Amino acid sequence: MAGKVPGERLGDVLIRKGLITSDQLDQAVQCQVIFGGRLGTNLLELGHLQEEQLSEALSQKCQVPAVPREELEEIPSRVIELISRELAGLYSAVPMRLVGQDLHTAMLDPLDPAAVQTLGSNTGKIIRPAIALEVYLRWALDRYYGIKR
């Protein structure tokens, strides 16, 4: 993908794109150390970034599609049932749609090869990972699996 620097960290991507300043990054990192959570989530909570901006940057960084919240709102139970509650919680993954043998799956870390392989082995499907914002994914995990943050 054009503009991608191999191994570039999210904060560096956001600064390079002019979406945040280094001071805003430092502030978000400090909040992350104190309160936990993902860097992007802290940037959102601090008001330094919009959800769409973060989604686009994560998609570019990971080179997978970003999942808008709307895609997580009405997932058929037959699709949800393809991934067990245990695996959904372990890998922060929510299946969104099945197209043939391709199971499009929203994930917190779509670049985790062990997660993609395990989900594929357990479902018998080809996992097509996509990146979802932490807030969207936590909402979906609660809604479909009863997994609280």
pLDDT of 77-109, one tens digit each? Answer: 999 999 999 999 999 999 999 999 999 999 999
Residue 29, Cβ density class (10 Å: 0-12 exposed, 13-18 middle, ≥19 buried): middle
**Does residue 7 have a pLDDT over 80?**
no
**Does residue 2 have a pLDDT over 80?**
no
**Does residue 6 have a pLDDT over 60?**
no
Rg (CA), the chain: 16
pLDDT of 45-60, one tens digit each? Answer: 999 999 999 999 999 9
HSE value, Cβ hemisphere, 13 Å, CA-based, for 110: 25
pLDDT at 149: 76
Is there a contact between 28 and 37 (Cβ–Cβ < 8 Å)? Answer: no
pLDDT of 61-75, one tens digit each? Answer: 999 999 999 999 999
Q: Name the nearest CA neighbour of 41 among 23, 57, 26, 28.
A: 28
